[in-house]
Chain A
C-alpha cells in the first residue's frame, strides 16, 4: 500500500496532529514503507482464527457500581494548563 500526500494529511487531521506541509512527502514515504512491510501478514492463513482480545486467560473483572474515590477537584485540575473555578478552560467552541 502506498500512501499519497493527501491521505497522510487526512490521517494527520484525524489524529489531530499538525504536520507541516513540507514534511508530508517524507512522511508518506515512511508510512508506505511500514505498510508494505506489514502486508506480509496476508501470507498467513487466519481462517477461523479468533482475533486476540486478551493475552491473559481471564475474564474481565467486574466491580460494584459504587463511588470509592473522589472529591478532590483541586488535585484533578492541578496540572491543567488553564483552569478557572473548578473547570478546565478551552478556547470558545460555540459562538
Chain B
C-alpha cells in the first residue's frame, strides 16, 4: 500500500472508482504518513479518527453510487480554517483551547464533496510570515532540507505562511491541502517546496470561518502536486456564500475541463519591471526558460509594463497591518482563547494581548494602529489605498495587451531557518513578486519549473484576469508538462 501516498488526486479518484483500493485504505496510508513526517512539525493537530470515520462514510457513498467530486481524498487543512469541534489555533498562543462551534464555508464545501480530513497544519502566526518561523507551535522544516530528519545539515524553511500545508503535500503526507494567500502565502511556499498552489480571484472562495488577517486581501486556495489536482480541489473550494459580503455570485467553472493543453495564439505578458536589480541569474534563467516553453507551445510573449510594481510592497505593508490591527482587536481574553488577568478590564486586555501575540504579529498590529491613528491616516493609509488603485490600473492596462502574465514566484529558493530573521524588510522582500497581484485581487498560481543550482525547487508564477482561473490553469499545465516530472524531496513519508 506504500504507493498510495504518491498518487495524484486524479489518480486516486481513478483507483477508487476502479475499486483498486478503498477510501479507508487510502486514509490509513495517509494517517501513517502523517505520523512519519512528525519531524517536520507540519501538523498542529492530527485527526486520524476523524479521517478514518470520514473515509468509511466515503466508501459507503461510493458503493451507493453517490460519490462526490473529491470523495475519499485525504487532505490537510491549514489551521486558519475553523473546523467544528477541532481545535483551531491560527498558530497563535492567544487562541489556546479554542474549539469552533462552526465550520468554515470552504471546508464545508470540501466535506460536502467527500474530502477526508487528516488534520490541521502549521502556519505562521495569523498567517503573518513568509517562512513559517513565527508559529507559536514551532517552525516547520521543509522536506527539502539536506540530510536526515533529526540530523539535518541545514534546516530549510518551507516558505510561508502556508508552510505546514506545503510541507505536508510535498512530503507525501496529504494529497492536497488548503492554504490561504494574503500577499503570497500560497504561491511562495508552493515555489519553495516544488508543488502547485493557486490563489483564485478575490471573492471566489468564501472567507467565512477563516481566521481573518487582512480582509481585503485574504483568499483561500488549494495546494497540490499537479495542476490538474489544483483544478479539482479549487472547484470544490469555490462558490458563492451569502455569509461573506465579498463573496462573488457567479458560477464556478469546471476548471479541469479548461486543461486542454492548447495555448496557441495566447498572448503572455512579460512585465519588464519584474527584472529587479540584483535578481539571481538562475531566477532569470528559469523565467526565460518558461517563456521559451510557452513559445514552443504556440503562445506569443509580449513585453508589458506594470510601472507601479516597485511600490507594491510598501503599499502592502500599510494596508495589511492596518486591516490586521482592526481584525485582531477581537482577541481580548473575553470571548475565546487565552486570558491573562489584570487589575482591571484594560489591564486584562493588555496582559492577554501582550502574552498572546508573538513578535511579528505585535509588530504588525502596532504599525497598523499607527497608520490608522489620528494625524497619520491620510499620510499613510489613504495614500496606500490610492497607490493600490494605481497598481490595479496597471494590471487593467496590461490585460488589454495580453491574456496571462508570466513571472518568477519568489526571488530565491528556500533559505535556512534563522537566515534573514533580524531584518523585517529583508523578510518582506520574499513577497516582492506575489504581492502586486494580491493588491489587485487577481488569480495567481505557482507551478514548479525546475531546480536552482542548489538543487532546490523554483516556481513560475502565472497571473490572470479577474475570474479567469481557467487560462491560468491551462497555461500552468503547459509549463508543468514542459518542466517534466518534478524531483522528490529528500524526505518523504
Q: Which residues of A contact B (CB under 8 A)?
A: 3, 8, 11-20, 27, 30-31, 33-35, 37-44, 46, 49-58, 60-61, 63, 72, 75-76, 78-82, 88, 90-93
Contacts and interface: CB of A to CB of B under 8 A. Distances in A.
29 contacts: A15-B353, A15-B365, A16-B346, A17-B353, A17-B362, A17-B365, A20-B354, A30-B424, A31-B370, A35-B367, A35-B370, A38-B315, A41-B311, A41-B383, A41-B387, A42-B383, A44-B311, A44-B383, A44-B387, A49-B390, A51-B382, A52-B386, A52-B389, A53-B385, A56-B466, A58-B203, A79-B337, A81-B338, A88-B335
Interface string B286-316: 0000000000000000000000101100110
A19 B424 contact: no
Contacts, number: 164
B-side interface mostly: helix
A-side interface mostly: loop
Contacts of A19: 354, 362
Contacts of B366: 8, 11-12, 15, 17, 27, 31
A90 B248 CA distance: 39
B333 interface: yes
Interface of B: 97-101, 201-203, 216, 242, 245-246, 248-249, 308, 310-311, 314-315, 317-318, 325, 329, 332-339, 341-346, 348-351, 353-355, 357, 362-363, 365-367, 369-370, 373, 380, 382-390, 392, 423-425, 439-441, 466
Nearest to B328: A15
Contacts of A14: 369, 373
A90 B348 contact: yes
Contacts of B310: 40
Given A16-B350, A33-B425, A81 B334 contact: yes
A25 B91 CA distance: 27
A42 B318 CA distance: 13
Contacts of B441: 55-56
B313 to A, nearest CB: 8
A23 B325 CA distance: 20
A42 B379 CA distance: 9
Complex A-B, nearest 10 residue pairs according to Cβ-Cβ distance, in ascending order: A18-B354, A55-B441, A51-B385, A79-B336, A81-B339, A46-B386, A18-B350, A15-B369, A75-B101, A16-B349
A79 B242 CA distance: 25
A29 to B, nearest CB: 10
Contacts of A88: 334-335
Contacts of B311: 40-41, 43-44
